Structure 1
Amino acid sequence: MNQASGSTSADSLSRIPALEKFFGNPIPDRERAMWVSLSTAHRSKAIQRMTALDRWSDGNGSVDAARAAADAGVGLTRFYEMAKAWRNDRSLAALGTFAAAPKSRVGKYDATIRKLVAEVVAADANASVRKLAIDLASRLGTFVDGAGPSHNTLRRYVEEELRRRERESSAGVDLQLDCSACKLTPSDERLFTAFVILDRSTQVVLGAELGALADSRAGYRGAAMDALRRLDESQFVRLPWVDSSARAEIVVGEDEDAWTDMKKRLVDADLHAGIELSTKTNRFGRYLRPATGLRIGTVVFFPIRTGEDGSTGVRARSSLMEFQARLRVEVDEYNAEVTSQIQSPNDASPPANLRRFLEMIAEG
């Protein structure tokens, strides 16, 4: 019985070549036990950090410490601490809390600003971001000593509060399918094309996939499969779902002709939802920008560079799977942050026509 169980674990681990790269074959029992206990997100984060440590190699590798730290998703000080622990004991345990996302630096007046910005926006929700930021600065003036936060900093607080208020509205009304060039870490030289399915009102990422702009049908197929998986895992139970979706807006890649047939199939399926295709020249990233600020964790989007990279579809499958896993880790953490800001858990289920739409996209 135990032997059979051990064989199953070994078979499972063999599907992750990066793990054997760091621990050899067979993988030590201690590492195997820790690996089995980790979630998919934690496993991907561990691989990300081990890869960064290996590339740095105590200063003798192909990248410097600053870039390796960025690739690992940690600060430089934390990276050095992690590298020392890894050097002393080459183990998953040395990597710390694998899935912890790098946190934004919290300013001195963060708590005060967050309280005031909610009041400022509630008082004049239809005002421009600029006016709201000016009003916020005026309200904040009595609370700060000396020079307070810059106008751009206050604008970011206002934009975040506006997004938070939008998330409180119903989910599932409007789906947005967008694609854009991206880097998995800011310092990464590799450019990918990401396909993302967003819920417009909550800014939640329902699904994401790396693919090729020349075959956006396939890219969105993978993103839809990822979205269905997340729905089946009840990752979005906190969302205030509507009874029926109203529309889906799709940013098309370079395969516009293929989408003509797909749109006809979606319309013929009588989903009771409008289907809109975007084929304008400057279409890439049009939905990602307002929803995410062109950043999901360590993933940075570059809409203007979309189309530069044509190699994603032909990368080695093992490497692409690792990159896909890294993208999904960042999506997991982004969604956790977004849904945590939705105040009231909701018992509603995703609309039936939303699920059917995703199934049809996933079927290709």
Structure 2
Amino acid sequence: SGMDNVRNITGSPMAGIDPDELIDTRDLVQKVQDMITNNSQGNYEFTNLPRKFNIAIEGGRDNSVHAEINDIAFVPAYKDGQLGLNVLVGGFFSAKRCEAAVPLNAWVLPNDDVVDLCRAILEVYRDEGSRANRQKSRMMWLIDEWGIDKFREEVSKQFGKELPTAAPHDEIDWEKRDHIGVFAQNQPGLNYVGLHVPVGRLYADQMFDIARMAEAYGSSEIRLTVEQNVIIPNIADANLEAFLAEPLLQKFTLEPKPLERLLVSCTGAQFCNFALIETKNRALAIVRELEEKLDIPNPVRIHWTGCPNSCGQPQVADIGLMGTKVRKDGKSVEGVNIYMGGKVGKDAKLGECVLKSVACDDLPEVLGNILIENFGAKSH
């Protein structure tokens, strides 16, 4: 929904099938969702928060959920030889301010304590968060007002028992994986296949095709990633050859080019009234033009967002583009502010704005120069 409530909970797209997984988070995600929604019956307790709210629970080593941009995030961590979850709080993007989540100095076992801690944090935020100014109503503003120590103290009271301190370090020690391609699952004889969906744009006939393929070759299950791609799990070894011969894989390739591979875009002005510029079609056209002109040695994460609300998350990208209006030749035209330095996965951080008011018509040249100067690209 688009209301002041808890949005969809984010979990690892590989939960339960990743051979390198530390914690299968599926049951935890379901329990937290059931608590918030009263087992999908509706729950007035959390329908009127000061502002929207995001929760993520990671069970792997590569931060597939982008923990740093969530109001509550749980990441795997060992403490005294026992595997549990460190807790981060307060991450958010908005038109006026963007902040990475900060440690709560808390650690919980991967059991109902996760559910109870989510409830405690939500109750503190619901009851104490500011509602006077919507631009200053996300939970980080409450943490700023109180300080993290007081915030933790109030959460601990609401939690109802002693809140263990955090493990010294977490287990997010891998670079971010995109899961595009064919991979063996932890269940012998089964595989998952990650399909690259250019800028996340799916049409009805393609959705029907994906559903048919999941039913025919897998277990009728479809998973989505934060990169806007599709994963079909539980494909038996014997079905893999026929699956890979499906015509849809010509469009949703398993071997996308370096720029297109990690390209993410919000809906843009075509379908969103908040957007200041068109994003998806333009993003795809520009990277394809650049890939025709440049040799790019490694994938580069490029994110587009059509307005300052940052739904496309430009701050976590190697190169982020935020839509705006600019003046060119005396006219108002579509343009972007450019961000750089964002990183996901291990040592995640938010990028900063490095270039303002670039007309979209000038982006092929500007982005080409950035790729050559900063990412080792070379002209053909």
Structures share a fold, TM > 0.5? no
More contact order relative to length (CA 8 Å, sep ≥ 6): 1
TM-score by length of 2: 0.28
TM-score by length of 1: 0.29
Structure (1 or 2) with the greater helix fraction: 1
